[in-house]
Amino acid sequence: MKPPALKLPFAETSAKALPIRSFTAAQWGKDSRREPAATRAWAEAQGFAAKPGQVLLLPDAAGRPRAVLAGLPEQADLWSYAALAAALPEGDYRLDFQPANADDAALGWALAGYRFDRYRKTQATSGAKPLARLVLPKAANKARVQAIYEAMALARDLITTPSNDLGPAELAAAAQSVAKRFKAQCRVITGEQLLKQNYPLIHMVGRAAAPQRQPRLIDITWGSPKAPKVTLVGKGVCFDSGGLDIKPPAGMLMMKKDMGGAAIMLGLAQAIMALKLPIRLRLLIPAVENAISADAFRPGDVCRSRKGLTVEIGNTDAEGRLILADALAEADGEKPELLLNAATLTGAARVALGPDLPALFSTDDALADALLAAGRVTGDPFWRLPLHSPYRDYLDSKVADINNAGDTPFAGSITAALFLRDFVSNTKAWAHLDVYAWTARPRPGRPAGGEAMGLRALLHILEQRYR
């Protein structure tokens, strides 16, 4: 995968940039009477009330724009600035005020220009107008904004790319190119080697795929071995047909995005390396296609996992937790200071929380609280669900240590998280995010397609802890 387009919509000089003044609707209601009569009349004629997303160009005597009035919500986040950028005509602008978070303002502005254009290069076919340009606010850290933009664009591009162009091999190639760019070590264990090196569940789930789409484990390490260990794990199911317990068409339609957790964690890893956070980073991505063939794994099969626990297959469509079990067992063996997992793991999490709120599970209350707080300040929120131990017996098997699917449809997201928990025993600070990784209802800065949910909040807690 090629690196995302790096040309961000930032203007170099402010000489000709139009100033943007911002108001909340309440402020406008109070303060507009202090504006010149012509401005008030113009605002009224245009129906400008400083509602979030509203903009008004003010003309000079010659009818050329001289300034912009913009409505922002009380708690403007990056998406407020994406909406602002998207509402303005082409040209150069500067903020005539100090945004609460300059990096988020710049990032949101830049994201308004994000497009997935791999299959539609021209403006005419992608429907994009050139984005307004922003003079970076003084307080903004350009390198950081760029790193986060690139991380999000990488994750989005990977998620939106269809499975015919993004199988396990291509996902591994994308990871390798990120590793190379930052001189990280990258090891990929492929196909039969997974059995030799004791990743039986990853092999079992992925073995039905075509030879060039064999399963693999991507393993990146970066940073000083003496620095605190932070390990990221992401579900990399490059297509989830459901296996033999085949998905119905409506459910299968979206399943190119089932590597969303992997894409988000690869994007996060890239941002961590670009920002040189002083940690010893490890990224583990089990990358598979959950395919159907004569060699597909079956309901009722029993497989011994890397950790030694035997797993009975109740449903081949509960494949994500299987590949994550082997990856988490490997991660947990090193006892990292922090172990973070992201996965498009269950439909049940979406039933509970809808598409925009990843479910957060953690055995560590302090970590969960820190993540929830990070989600709030970054506008990248989660909602915590419980690892309710009494539900663990939904996963009891009559022949093996654990079954991969519950015997009831209740609490599906919780039982999936409880399954994962059995494979993490040494690490104190472990958190699992069950993410949708997709925007269905487009908004400014968030076109329909893959979304890097959780990336910015996770980066935030890492920056807080380690910088």
Antiparallel, parallel or unpaired: β 280-290 and 229-234: parallel
Among residues 256, 280, 321, 456, which one is catalytic? 321
Residue 91 φ/ψ region, left for φ over 0, alpha for ψ in the -120 to 50 degree band, beta for the rest = left
- Partner interacting with residue 380 (select from Zn ion, Mn ion, ligand BES, none; CB below 5-8 Å by kind): none
Separation CA 267–CA 448 (nearest Å): 19
| Candidate ranges 177-185, 194-202, 230-238, 262-270; the one touching Zn ion (CB under 5 A) | 230-238
Residue 300-319 contact track with ligand BES, rule CB under 6 A, x = bound:
---------------x-xxx
- As a whole number of Å, the CA-based R_g of the chain is 24
From residue 137, how far is each of 37, 106, 132, 142, 320 by CA, in Å? Answer: 30, 8, 15, 9, 42
Separation CA 73–CA 32 (nearest Å): 17
Among residues 21, 247, 376, 384, which one is catalytic? 247
Among 77, 103, 258, 312, binds Zn ion (CB under 5 A): 258
Task: Identify which of residues 206 and 336 has a Cβ nearer to ligand BES in the complex.
Answer: 206
| Candidate ranges 101-109, 138-146, 251-259, 295-303; the one touching Zn ion (CB under 5 A) | 251-259
Residue 373-412 contact track with ligand BES, rule CB under 6 A, x = bound:
--------------------------------x------x
Helix H or strand E segment including 342: strand 338-343
Residue 221-250 contact track with ligand BES, rule CB under 6 A, x = bound:
-------------------x----------
Question: Which positions from 246 through 275 interact with ligand BES, judged by CB under 6 A?
Answer: 258
* Shortest distance in whole angstroms from residue 319 CB to Mn ion: 5
Rule CB under 6 A: say whether 449 interacts with ligand BES. no
Question: Could you tell me if 312 and 397 are in contact, meaning their C-beta atoms sit under 8 angstroms apart?
Answer: yes
Q: 64 an active-site residue? A: no
Question: Which positions from 313 through 332 interact with Zn ion, judged by CB under 5 A?
Answer: 320
Amino acid identity of 114? Y
* Shortest distance in whole angstroms from residue 240 CB to Mn ion: 4
According to DSSP, the residues that pair with 302 across neighbouring strands are: 312
From residue 391, how far is each of 129, 161, 418 by CA, in Å? Answer: 51, 36, 8
Amino acid identity of 49? A
Size, binding site for ligand BES by CB under 6 A: 16
Task: Identify which of residues 133 and 257 has a Cβ nearer to ligand BES in the complex.
Answer: 257
DSSP notation for 283-335: EEEEEEEE--STT---TT-EEE-TTS-EEE-S-TT--HHHHHHHHHHHHHHT-
Size, binding site for Mn ion by CB under 5 A: 3
Separation CA 158–CA 264 (nearest Å): 9
Question: Could you tell me if 346 and 435 are in contact, meaning their C-beta atoms sit under 8 angstroms apart?
Answer: no
Question: Which positions from 335 through 364 interact with ligand BES, judged by CB under 6 A?
Answer: 344-348, 350
* Shortest distance in whole angstroms from residue 383 CB to Zn ion: 21
Q: 216 an active-site residue? A: no
- Partner interacting with residue 414 (select from Mn ion, Zn ion, ligand BES, none; CB below 5-8 Å by kind): none
Separation CA 211–CA 2 (nearest Å): 24
Running DSSP on this structure, what letter comes out for residue 345? -
Among 317, 356, 380, 434, binds Mn ion (CB under 5 A): 317
- In this structure, the number of other CB atoms found within 10 A of the CB of residue 190 comes to 17
Task: Identify which of residues 62 and 250 has a Cβ nearer to ligand BES in the complex.
Answer: 250
Rule CB under 5 A: say whether 240 interacts with Zn ion. yes
Antiparallel, parallel or unpaired: β 229-234 and 383-384: unpaired
From residue 16, how far is each of 218, 266, 313 by CA, in Å? Answer: 49, 39, 65
Question: Which positions from 215 through 244 interact with Mn ion, judged by CB under 5 A?
Answer: 240
Rule CB under 6 A: say whether 289 interacts with ligand BES. no
State which residue has the least CB distance to Zn ion: 240
In the complex, the residues that contact Zn ion under the rule CB under 5 A are 237, 240, 258, 320
In the complex, the residues that contact ligand BES under the rule CB under 6 A are 240, 258, 315, 317-320, 344-348, 350, 405, 412, 436
Which residues form the catalytic set? 247, 321
